[in-house]
């Protein structure tokens, strides 16, 4: 193919995500993963270097050029750290979705930023296709190390499709069906974050919509949501008991609290490592997994020198420190600010900003940065939400200035 195709790009990303699995058990799946990973990389090449400018294209934000330069410098530094790693593996570095490939989804931000109406219509249709695939894989899962992983991948299309359904008043019934099915899938697969993500998103959407005209109150709603995330982490077992009673589920997994991971990562890393991390191939020592293998004779889990952490924020610290975390979320925070705290007439931009805030908060519970369908969607939507806020920007009127100085008007939606 010599012309960039948004639909084919996301199709390749989705297929590669679905077929990533243990190569020793399902070697053919890894081959499919590599093929479609390379195809998606080719599509990105076509977008960046072969795509001709269109009349509706916008000039990229002023901060983006400097941001990408800083991000590239950070990636180069991390690669140098990896080359000095005694356990250096070029295959792992360039092939594993949790290693260097984890930074690739950031490149989807400009793809979304230049998406016109025709492109976004195709994207919505692809979300519909992914929703249908989610239903199919729920009934007929592909055999693998985790038969629910492909369903989880497709499930990440449910909330974005719901946002467009709210904005365009189409496909609402199908989106509602997918939400109900996702709740059921969450129970079957023990993927509790699926339901938590939906509760958090719709809770934030309602709360922020109520105070949509006042920036300070919107910020307060986000802070309150962050406080509940903190309480959820520090009192996870109690919250899970309430959660299980709320959804009337008795067999919901509540063993993996993940709160100990914060203690392990912060306890194992030094000050300068918290700032810049240990490289894309970095590992950390886990006393818990050592105990499982030595005292409990349980060898089904990870090795006690672990390559990844189940919490996204901690994964950032391990692989690149606070520098990685700040650089990675910069486009997302910019999109949130543009869609939530500037004046515009775009509902979808506001919905996307709420969705991104939700995903950012969940990074402190899960959301491990990786080369994954989920993160390509997040950055694509961040770019598109930013674009719509720019296109439908609204100038503040004199009437707006009568608001209290602590309650300055924010976004229209």
Is residue 385 over pLDDT 90? yes
Judge contact between 196 and 190, C-beta under 8 A: no
Residues 143-155, mean pLDDT to the nearest whole number: 80
Q: Higher confidence at residue 100 or residue 187?
A: 100
Q: What tens digit of pLDDT does each residue of 213-227 get?
A: 888 888 899 998 888
**Partner residues linked to 358 by β-bridges:** none
User: What is the percent of the chain where pLDDT is above 90?
Assistant: 57
Q: Higher confidence at residue 248 or residue 164?
A: 164
User: What is the percent of the chain where pLDDT is above 70?
Assistant: 85
H helix runs in 20-89, sequence order: 27-45, 62-83
Q: What tens digit of pLDDT does each residue of 73-124 get?
A: 999 999 999 999 999 999 899 989 999 999 999 999 999 999 999 999 999 9
Residues 173-196, mean pLDDT to the nearest whole number: 88
Judge contact between 336 and 357, C-beta under 8 A: yes
Other Cβ atoms less than 10 A from the Cβ of 71: the count is: 18
pLDDT value of residue 398: 44
Is residue 198 over pLDDT 60? yes
Q: What tens digit of pLDDT does each residue of 42-51 get?
A: 999 999 998 8
H or E stretch covering 284 = strand 284-285
Is residue 370 over pLDDT 80? yes
Token pair, residue 137, equals 């894989």
Q: What tens digit of pLDDT does each residue of 209-267 get?
A: 888 888 888 889 999 888 888 777 776 556 555 555 554 554 444 445 567 889 899 99
Q: Higher confidence at residue 191 or residue 351?
A: 351
pLDDT value of residue 324: 97
Q: What tens digit of pLDDT does each residue of 357-367 get?
A: 999 999 998 89
Average pLDDT, the chain: 85
């Amino acid at each position: 193919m010599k012309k960039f195709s948004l639909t084919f790009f996301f199709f390749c990303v989705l297929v590669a995500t679905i077929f990533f699995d243990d190569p020793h058990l399902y070697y053919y799946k890894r081959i499919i993963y590599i093929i479609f990973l390379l195809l998606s990389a080719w599509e990105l090449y076509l977008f960046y270097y072969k795509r001709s400018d269109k009349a509706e294209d916008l000039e990229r934000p002023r901060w983006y050029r400097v941001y990408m330069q800083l991000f590239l410098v950070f990636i180069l530094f991390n690669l140098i750290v990896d080359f000095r790693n005694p356990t250096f593996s070029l295959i792992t570095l360039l092939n594993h979705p949790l290693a260097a490939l984890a930074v690739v989804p950031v490149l989807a931000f400009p793809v979304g930023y230049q998406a016109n109406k025709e492109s976004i219509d195709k994207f919505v249709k692809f979300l519909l296709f992914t929703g249908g695939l989610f239903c199919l894989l729920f009934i007929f899962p592909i055999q693998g190390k985790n038969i629910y992983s492909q369903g989880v991948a497709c499930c990440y299309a449910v909330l974005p499709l719901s946002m467009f359904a709210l904005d365009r008043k189409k496909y609402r019934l199908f989106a509602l069906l997918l939400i109900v099915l996702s709740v059921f899938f969450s129970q079957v697969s023990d993927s509790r974050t699926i339901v938590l993500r939906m509760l958090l998103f719709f809770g934030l959407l309602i709360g922020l919509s109520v105070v949509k005209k006042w920036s300070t109150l919107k910020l307060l709603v986000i802070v309150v949501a962050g406080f509940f995330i903190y309480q959820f982490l520090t009192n996870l077992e109690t919250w899970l008991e309430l959660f299980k009673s709320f959804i009337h589920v008795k067999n919901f997994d509540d063993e993996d609290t993940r709160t100990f991971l914060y203690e392990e990562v912060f306890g194992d890393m030094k000050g300068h490592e918290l700032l810049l991390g240990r490289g894309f191939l970095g590992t950390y020592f886990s006393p818990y997994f050592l105990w499982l293998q030595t005292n409990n004779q349980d060898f089904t889990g990870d090795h006690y020198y672990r390559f990844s952490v189940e919490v996204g924020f901690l994964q950032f610290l391990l692989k690149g420190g606070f520098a990685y975390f700040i650089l990675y979320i910069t486009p997302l925070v910019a999109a949130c600010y543009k869609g939530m705290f500037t004046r515009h007439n775009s509902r979808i931009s506001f919905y996307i900003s709420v969705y991104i805030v939700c995903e950012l908060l969940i990074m402190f519970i899960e959301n491990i940065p990786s080369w994954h369908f989920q993160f390509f969607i997040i950055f694509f939507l961040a770019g598109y939400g930013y674009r719509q806020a720019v296109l439908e920007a609204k100038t503040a009127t004199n009437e707006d200035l009568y608001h209290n100085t602590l309650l300055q008007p924010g976004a229209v939606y």
